[in-house]
Amino acid sequence: MLWNLIKQDRGGQVLLALLVLAIILVPILNGLPTDHPLHLPTYMVAVMGKYLTLALLALSVDLVWGYLGILTLGHGAFFALGGYVMGMYLMRQIGDRGVYGHPELPDFMVFLNWDSLPWYWYGLDQFWFAAIMILLVPGLLAYIFGALAFRSRVSGVYLSIITQALTFALMLAFFRNEMGFGGNNGLTDFKDILGFNLQSRQTRVGLFIASAVALALGYLLCRYITQSRLGKVCVAVRDAESRSRFLGYRVENVKLWVFTLSAMIAGVAGALYVPQVGIINPNEFSPLNSIEIVVWVAVGGRATLYGAVAGAIFINYAKTWFTTELPDVWLFALGAIFILVTVFLPKGLAGLLRRREGNA
């Protein structure tokens, strides 16, 4: 079954092979003595894990944009919601190491003179409940939003604007201290996850492996969908929505189901992102972040899945380098990369692989 999904997918084979190789090599290289020339520092393990979570986020966007034709400019909202749920779980793990005398309250609530936890924080001291909420919260928001938008037949640029307005509204809401999510400072100073110290080398490696496994499973899930009958209907809706509706397909239901699933994948990406970067704040809801995700997919290659992964890793690595070495140049570099790819590689980086396969 697994081989059938990727036997004609050269890019997917390469991606999965690289992920398996990373899962094997990263723990070995990180475990070498610090003076060994092949030693991989623990901070680099966390950075690489962050790249993988962002690649999973790009994968979720490519599923709806590449195969369904929905240009979403608000997927950062689902990513941030998954991250906030994980952040709330991690804050509940601080316990007695927080503000003295208030082990049940996060520090910021004590500083704001809150005397009890809000109801929506209940249960998030249990990992199993937090895991359910990581999927349920972004999925429920996407379902409600999609049901209203798709059944009203909002599409094209109007839908893109509405998704951008959604994430902007959430950003403004989460900035407010009375919302109970830490205001503009967000949630940070995490200690443990599942009883393991977040700063330890083993935990960092474990989170990297979890991110690699999640990316592999997310890719296989998206590939299964795109190769199924549902995937064929998605492409038909993308290319000829009116004709698909005329043939009897419930276009609204197709869009709603895939959009909701995509939001849940983005939520998982956000949940894995937060413990590796150590913070989640309202800036993750910024509309600019959602626009940047679309750039990742376009650079990597829309409607390829593995191209979205490659684009996300490439752009974020470039961002890390530029913001460290030439911070004032990064936005110009991003614009130049996007223009060059659009002009010379209209099918993105994935187009290079397909071109080589065609010449082979």
pLDDT at 9: 84
State the pairing for strand pair 279-280/192-193: unpaired
Average pLDDT over residues 302-331: 92
Lookup: tokens for 65: 């944009």
Report, as an integer, the average pLDDT of 48-75: 96
Residue whose pair of structure tokens reads 């919260």 in the numeric block: 137
Assess contact for 143 and 78: CB atoms under 8 A. no
Write down the pLDDT at residue 75.
Answer: 95
Residue 3 pLDDT greater than 70, yes or no: no
| pLDDT, greater one: 276 or 96 | 276
What domain range includes position 24? 2-359
Residue 113 banded pLDDT, cuts 50, 70, 90: confident
pLDDT at 104: 73
pLDDT at 359 over 80: no
Per-residue pLDDT, 341: 85
Query: Residue 278 pLDDT > 60, yes or no?
Result: yes
Are the CB atoms for 208 and 108 separated by under 8 Å? no
119-162: per-residue pLDDT in tens? Answer: 999 999 999 999 999 999 999 999 999 999 999 999 889 999 99
CA atoms within 13 A on the CB side of 165: 8
Beta bridge partners of 280: 187
> What's the predicted TM-score (pTM) here?
0.95
Quick check: 204 and 276 in contact, CB under 8 A?
yes
Two tokens, residue 268 = 């998982």
Mean pLDDT of 81-99: 85
Give the helix ranges, DSSP H, for the chain.
2-6, 10-31, 42-66, 75-92, 107-111, 127-151, 156-174, 201-227, 229-239, 241-246, 251-277, 287-300, 306-325, 330-344, 350-359
Share of the chain above pLDDT 90, in %: 75
- 247 burial class (0-12, 13-18, 19+ CB within 10 angstroms)? exposed
* Cβ atoms 39, 202 nearer than 8 A: no
What is residue 78's predicted lDDT score, i.e. its pLDDT? 98
Backbone torsion region of residue 95, taken as left when φ is above 0, otherwise alpha when ψ lies between -120 and 50, otherwise beta: left
Residue-averaged pLDDT of the chain: 91
pLDDT band with cut points at 50, 70 and 90 for residue 114: confident
Closest CA to 105 of 84, 91, 123: 91
pLDDT beyond 90 at 45: yes
The tally of domains found in the chain comes to 1
Nearest alpha-carbon partner for 205 in 49, 89, 317: 49
Q: Given pLDDT bands bounded at 50, 70 and 90, which one contains residue 207?
A: very high
pLDDT at 358 over 70: no
Q: Which amino acid is at 31?
A: G
Share of the chain above pLDDT 70, in %: 94
Widest pairwise Cα distance in the chain: 69
